[in-house]
Amino acid sequence: MRVLAFDTSTEVLSVALGAPVHGEHRTWAHSGEGGAQASHTLIATVQDLLRQAGLRLQDVDAIGFGAGPGAFTGLRTACAVAQGLALGAGLRVLPVPSLLALAEEARFHQQCAARGPDLTVVSLLDARMGEVYAAVYAWRAGQWDTLRPPALVSPAQATQWLAGMPADTVVAGNALTVYPALSGVCNGPALPAIGPTAQAIVRLAPALLAAGSAVDAADALPLYIRDKVAQTTLEREAAAKVKRDA
C-alpha cells in the first residue's frame, strides 16, 4: 500500500511517504519547521518525497493527514493541502486524529519496545490558553482502541486522568514539558519529546483504511475541539498563573 501522509498540528512539519519496494515496505520522511512555515513548504516537500520514491501522486492509494486537535492554522493547512492533492489525483483522504498518531509514535519509542504486546498511552498536547488536548488509547491484539476520545481539559483534569491510570501507562506529548507537574503523577514512562508524526500516520493507514475511515476529499475536515482561539487580558493572566503553578 502506498500512503502519503503529513502532520502540521504542532510546531513541527512532518511528511512521509510509505510504499513497497521489491517486496519490502520503505518510508521516505521529512521533518522540519512547522507553524506558519508549513503552508510555504508542505507541497514542495511532498513533491520532493515523490521524486525520491520515483512515484507520481496518482500512484498513491490514499492521502492521510493529522486532523487534530492542534494548532488551528496547521490543521487548516493540512486539510486544505490533502483536499487539493486528492481532488487533483482522484484519491481518498484519511483524516487521522493527531493524538492517535502521537500514541502510535510513542509505541515505537525504545522505552515501549520491550513492554510486551499490550500498551496503554495517554496522549497530551499543549493546547495553549492554559489547557491540554488529551486522549487515552490502548494497543491490544495488534490494534488501537480508544479508551477516552480527544478532549480539551485543564492541567488539573489531566492530572486526575493520570492519577487514575494503571502503573504501566505510557504518557507522551509536549504538555509534559509545558506543565511539568503532570510528570509527577505519571505511573509509567513519560515521553515529553514525542509528538505526532507522518510516519505514524503511514503505519496507522492500512488498518484505518480497512475500517472504512477514508472519506472523499470534499468531506475531509479538521478535528476541532476548541471553538475559541483568542483570550481576553484576564484570561491570558489566568493562563500564565496556571503555568507558573504547574
- Look at residue 68 in the predicted model and tell me its pLDDT: 96
The answer to whether 7 and 71 have CB atoms below 8 angstroms apart is: no
What is the three-state SS of 35-50?
Answer: HHHHHHHHHHHHHHHH
Name the CATH superfamily, with its identifier, for domain 3-98+196-219.
Answer: ATPase, nucleotide binding domain (3.30.420.40)
Q: Which set of grid coordinates corresponds to residue 137?
A: 488509547
DSSP 68-124: ESS-HHHHHHHHHHHHHHHHHHT-EEEEEEHHHHHHHHHHTSHHHHTS-S-EEEEEE
Whole-angstrom Cα distance, residue 179 to residue 132? 9
pLDDT in tens, the chain (246 residues): 999 999 999 999 999 999 999 999 999 999 998 877 788 899 999 999 999 999 999 999 999 999 999 999 999 999 999 999 999 999 999 999 999 999 999 999 988 876 678 999 999 999 999 999 999 999 999 999 999 999 999 999 999 999 999 988 999 999 999 999 999 999 889 999 999 999 999 999 999 999 999 999 999 999 999 865 444 445 445 555 555 565
- Look at residue 50 in the predicted model and tell me its pLDDT: 98
DSSP 168-186: T-EEESTHHHHSGGGGGG-
- Look at residue 37 in the predicted model and tell me its pLDDT: 76
The answer to whether 123 and 173 have CB atoms below 8 angstroms apart is: yes
The answer to whether 180 and 201 have CB atoms below 8 angstroms apart is: no
Phi first, then psi, for residue 92 (nearest 5°) are -85, 155
- Look at residue 244 in the predicted model and tell me its pLDDT: 59
Whole-angstrom Cα distance, residue 54 to residue 67? 27
Q: Which set of grid coordinates corresponds to residue 159?
A: 492530572
On the question of a cis peptide bond just before residue 69, with omega within 30 degrees of 0, the verdict is: yes
Q: Where are the domains of the chain?
A: 3-98+196-219, 99-191
Q: Which CATH class is domain 99-191?
A: alpha beta
The answer to whether 120 and 99 have CB atoms below 8 angstroms apart is: no
The answer to whether 180 and 45 have CB atoms below 8 angstroms apart is: no
Domains 3-98+196-219 and 99-191 agree in fold? yes
- Look at residue 240 in the predicted model and tell me its pLDDT: 54
